[in-house]
Structure 1
Amino acid sequence: MTASDAVLGAVVREETGRIVAALTRAFGRFDIAEEAVAAAIEEALRDWRRGGVPPRPGAWLMTAARHNALDAVRRDARLRDRLALLEREPVPAVAGPDERLALIFGCCHPALSPEAQLALMLRAVVGMTTAQIARAMREPTATVGQRISRAKRKIATSGIPLRVPVGADRAARLDLVLTAISVMYDAAHLRDGADAATDRDVAEDALWLAAVVAYESAAAEAYGLHALLLFHRARDAARTAGGELVPLPAQERRLWDDPLIRRARDVLEQAARLRDPGRWQLHAAIAACHADATEAAATDWPQILVLYDMLLTFDRSPIVRLNRVVALAEVAGAQAALRETEALADELREDRLWHAVRAVLLRRTGDVAAADASDRAALALADNEAERRLLRSRLAGPA
């Protein structure tokens, strides 16, 4: 990576969403704006390597994107009658916080599939190329490109507004945005077919997006997600060793990033002051309990179980209930946790995590044969190579 590439990466992260929002406002077409900015980023990559970084890189990117948008209008016979007016207009003012937040909400509209929401947000707000998104999502570039194109067409033809919703609709839509960012962070870890290494660029982009949404929306749940991802990020250096996954209880806690943990606690306290509880804040509070423990044996499992019980009032998804089982095993024993796990069989039988948790509990009860069978079932469902090696290491016999 050249020095200009590093500068461009920072400028793209900070400016892409603002410029797309500003050009959408000026031209009235999200698809034209997004494609114009994507082309400008490609031009910057080429031109800045050759001629160096311009004095005002953000303004350079805006000007280049506006020229691209005008070229798109010239090519579109339906829009040519507006060309003279658009050419006379000054360069649009860079979008403010509300407009960038509106763009994020537009990309995560419920009319779009979750996969399309994530891909469109990565492209329009973060400025990732289609190839980069495809690598992050472990899908063919053509598939991701078609998904993004369909999503942009749907925004145009369905009149999906790029605005922050108000009233009762805001909380539900915000949760969609936060879920997409959480999925984005998860996509940087345990990638299909990959090893244990984290895609640090994707993880950092997710963390940055969480901060943008938190501080531009000032919503308690947005702060909650930001705190949660900070807690996770703080443990990142300890989650792998020599290419192998290290389970949380076995992690070397001296490798945890204490300044990042302190920042996560501050953000979580900022959320709590708003007195608007929700699932992301509770997830973050559970992560904080783990961060408080100087060693695995000092983990406050009763408190974590209480937090999971509170979380169930907001989210009764099978995965949340499965995660609660882990805390229950530490508080009430493996047999009690195993009964809860078996109750989730119909919903999670095709999920590798259910089989892996069940194997741990069966092994604790002394049923090694059944535990091995469950680990083998998890192994058959796992795609990440480091995770597969971890599961193999737990088997009493050959897989």
Structure 2
Amino acid sequence: MWKARTKSLGRLFGIQKSEKLDRVGKKARGHKQTHRCQDDKDVKVDKGSQFDQGGECTPKNCAQDNTKKVEHSRSRNPVLRDFEPLKLIGGGSYGNIFLVRKKCGADENKLYAMKIVDIINFLSQDKIKFLDTEWFISKIVCHSPFLARIYYSFYTESKFCFIQDYFPGGDLSVYLEDMKKLPEREARYFLAEIIMGIQHLHELRIIHRDIKPANILLSSDGHVVITDFGVSKDLLSKGKNELNYTLCGTAFYVAPEIINKKGHGMEVDWWSFGVTAYEMLAGLRPFTISDVEDERELIRKILKDDPVFPESFSTNAVDLIRKLLKKKPSKRLGERKGGVEDIKRHPFFKGIKWKDIGKKATEMPFHPRPVAGDSNLIQKAFDIETLVHSKYEVCTYKPCTELNGK
């Protein structure tokens, strides 16, 4: 079973030879069962138990924000059981997300979100690239306060585990379900921070391709971070004007040029941003279908129809969103000669102090309530998810400073 998976795991973690991974697996199986935390006390683990975890780990420091760095334990590299499960906070077809606490090391007691993905669901060539992309881009973007990053990554015999920042406010879609819609004066601050996140991605020559409320996380103080880079595209190896032709994204937010397969670039993110802005202000998306309509009707509306604006929208809001939802990419706000500065200078954002936005120094209008989670039998569920199948645990990580050439 281990050998059958090594090729896909090698692609994901940048190890080219499956033989090398197999040696890592053998080493994991014979690894000394000693666990050393910051206090340098050895913790013995019975061979063959559900906590039997070997393997090596090579995490490095990564910026937690613009001023602080997370320093990991120097006495030894972490393993999965260094993370105490607190509650289940999300899940889907990919697996589950747990709130965890680091139990030892220099970042002891820090809260993280642990995303656990079933390997069996991602072993095909088409699916493995989504994890590969998310892992790679999360390392590149880790210096931006508006983009989610990965601190540790593990794989076991049956799971991929990504350790990321924990955002107690959940995502923007959950917040909008509660609030229905937002007043323009408050929505401007959320939208301004989303703009900064997209700008940072584009400066790194990365297209997100799935901007939507569900991929906008909220901290306890209301600041936003863009996450989920699974369908993102890095243009580092492409020419400046080279286009992409992959059909990807979420149907309600996807740009016309992606649907047409005529080639797309960074301007698709500004279309999705426009749809998100409309949804925040109106409480519904600009292009929707009824229960009796199918996806073909949705596609027709995106390609042909202009959005209808509620009377509650101000003139500036209508003008901003209309320019973001131009069908022709070259005419779209954010893609023209002025680039992102055209969006920042739009009258809708009058009074926004962009330097403060960039530093997250602005007091956000809402502080969302922490998202509830399921704590029932959480330790048992966590054991099943991560520990029973962890005989071949390996943690791999490269510091973002190396990837950025610093």
State the TM-score, normalizing by the size of structure 1. Answer: 0.30
State the TM-score, normalizing by the size of structure 2. Answer: 0.30
Per residue, is there more strand in 1 or in 2?
A: 2
Larger relative contact order (C-alpha < 8 A, sep ≥ 6)? 2
Per residue, is there more helix in 1 or in 2?
A: 1
Structure (1 or 2) with the larger CA radius of gyration: 1
